[in-house]
Amino acid sequence: MTMQIKEIILYNKQGDIRKIPFETGKVNIITGKSKTGKSAIIEIVEYCLGRSEFLVPEGIIRKTVTMYGLKLQFNEEELFIAKSPPEGNNQSQNRVYFEIGKDIKPPELSEIIPNSNDEGLIDYLGSFIGISPNLNVPKASESRNPLEANYKHSRLFLFQKQSVIADESILFHRQKEPFMPQTIKDVLPYFLGAVREDHLKLEAELRTTKRELKILKKRQIEAELLSTSGSTKAQNLLDEAKQVGLIEESFYANNQEELIQRLKKALLWKPSGILGIEVSQLEKLREKRAHHLEQLNDIIEQIRAAESYASEASGYSKQGNEQRLRLESIALFNEEPNDESCKCPLCSSILEGKIPKIENMTNSLRRLNTNLQAVVREQPKLRNYIESLENEKEAKKQLVNNYSKSIEALIHEQEVAREIEDLNRRVSRVVGRISLYLENYQEVQKENELQGKVRATESHIEYLEGLLDQEKKEEILSSILSRISKYMTEWAKELALEHSDAPYRLDIKNLTVIADQEERPIPMNRMGSGENWLGCHLISHLALHKYFIQKNRPVPSFLILDQPTQVYFPPEKYDTMEGDIEELNDEDRKAVKMMFDLLFKVCKELYPNLQIIVLDHANLQDDEFQSALVEKPWRSGRALIPSDWL
């Protein structure tokens, strides 16, 4: 199953379309001068494959292109993907449009409406090429989180940018970014197939099987204990059953079998029914009692007020009578004196002012008599009122008392229910222990069968652990790297790299290439010369893709190389040279020719499963190179962006 690039499609603001077509299963070359947009192709492809960061260089491309598209070939189907650049000053955006079908015609610009996002696209592409659920779990001594390899990680093996392809310190795309070296180390074993596709499933099965073994061993231990102390345990359970009334006190077992049969009968016990007391019923009674108690208190308060009033009225009557009797006894004002008289009626002395009229005195005495008579008349009514309140108070007290008794009765019923429930719980515990004992008793009878299950489970765990063994994973990975090393060594000789007399290998631990000389291993950064660094990048990535294809691993089957010949063209003349191989010295011409010959050879060997796209300055004048050109060289106004778009 191969995924390769069919077309790169660009749209300008007017809806015009620029297509760059590629042939699948072959070497595709875009050659031209610098600053014609060749290096932007990697950024465009990666952006359309679900990378949210927009890294297309500033300049003409950003100013003219309003939509970036990519058409992929996947077996018999095509997948069209389109993304617009971020708006304003944003550095990323994740909205994406994609469709799948056969012979897809790129839609008009107005028809491209995002229908997903980068995360959805990555999940879809991952399932499309067959990335299965996986998880790289670090060692217990390492603090990083587990990592699941997905489609975006496969992109790390698809690109060799101009700044990477001849760098002696790094080997992979994006390797200089923070945390990326460890990510590459974690996901590469999965993409190479050193990690089983069903790894997660096997781990889950192993956990389940270990739990089953733990349960079986516990049952086995209980069975062994039971076989040595079975009679004592059964007798103890019988005594417990008698204590809770589960078995009658008079029962006596003549033998073990009789005892077991009686314990089995005890399992037929059913808990006693408990009359449920609704909490709401008790609360209603309490609320009613509280209501009547409040009314009772109101009546008592009314009685107290009435009695207080009666007491005050009685005191007034007593005092008023005393005063009336005193005045009447001396009969001072029987005759009305002369209005002009100023004599005192007691001592006949002449007073300075006039004495009050006797009539006024008499009127006051009359009012006093009237008030006293009113008080005397009201006293029987007040006493009747107080008496009615007393009767009402007694009736209310009786009602409150009745509610109190009802509440006490319910509480008592609850206590009885709790006692029954407690007894049920005690009996239930005994029944549970009897049930467990009898189950284990049956296991004792089947001890050989239980031991067989334990042995079979232990054997299955050993088998699963063997499949998941980390050391075995390392052995598989070592074997894979050995095969990759074989390809690398062969191609190092074809490119005449330094130390090519020694085996070349890929060092995953340090993410570099090593030549294993007899004296000592020589890593890429100590080999010297850009030609050797370039060669290490080429042979390692070609070897990886050859292995990916041979083992049908879930990695897209294309490799994009940006400016691989830069090490042969002098930097100070690079922009002015036309890229003609004749401009190089004999040794460099030979090296460039060997490099392209290797690319053509590997692509033919793996046809139609590998596509190589080369973006370069060089323009070799031989038939094979010229037939691989995607378009005429990007010179004399030809470039990624058509001149009429400017």
* 470-472-475 Cα angle (round to 5): 115
* DSSP run (H or E) holding 506: strand 504-507
Q: What is the pLDDT of residue 233?
A: 72
**pTM above 0.75?**
no
End-to-end CA distance of the chain: give it in Å, rounded.
Answer: 40
For strands 116-117 and 95-101, give the pairing.
antiparallel
Mean pLDDT of 7-35: 96
Question: Residues 470-492: pLDDT tens digits?
Answer: 667 788 899 999 999 999 999 99
Question: CB neighbours (10 Å) of residue 183?
Answer: 21
Q: How far apart are CA 198 and CA 202, in angstroms?
A: 6
Q: What is the pLDDT of residue 428?
A: 77
pLDDT higher for 410 or 612?
A: 612
Q: What is the pLDDT of residue 65?
A: 97
DSSP β-bridge partners for residue 612: 27, 559
Q: How far apart are CA 247 and CA 32, in angstroms?
A: 101
Q: Is the pLDDT of residue 378 over 70?
A: no
For strands 27-31 and 65-74, give the pairing.
unpaired
Q: Which of 13-22, 222-231, 597-606 has the lowest mean pLDDT?
A: 222-231
Q: Is the pLDDT of residue 535 over 60?
A: yes
* DSSP run (H or E) holding 29: strand 27-31
What is the three-class DSSP state of 646? coil
- CB-hemisphere CA count at 13 Å for 432? 7
Structure tokens that stand for 614 in this block: 């080369």
Residues above pLDDT 90, as percent of the chain: 46
Residues above pLDDT 70, as percent of the chain: 76
Question: Residues 571-589: pLDDT tens digits?
Answer: 655 555 565 666 677 788 8
Q: Which of 69-78, 241-250, 368-377 has the highest mean pLDDT?
A: 69-78
Q: How far apart are CA 494 and CA 591, in angstroms?
A: 10
Q: Fill in the DSSP letter of residue 522.
A: E
Q: How far apart are CA 35 and CA 634, in angstroms?
A: 10
Q: Which CA distances in Å does 447 have to 209, 441, 456, 521?
A: 20, 10, 14, 60
Question: Residues 70-121: pLDDT tens digits?
Answer: 999 998 899 999 999 999 899 999 999 999 999 999 999 999 999 999 999 9
Question: Residues 137-183: pLDDT tens digits?
Answer: 676 667 677 788 899 999 999 999 999 999 999 999 999 999 999 99
Q: Give the chain's length.
A: 646
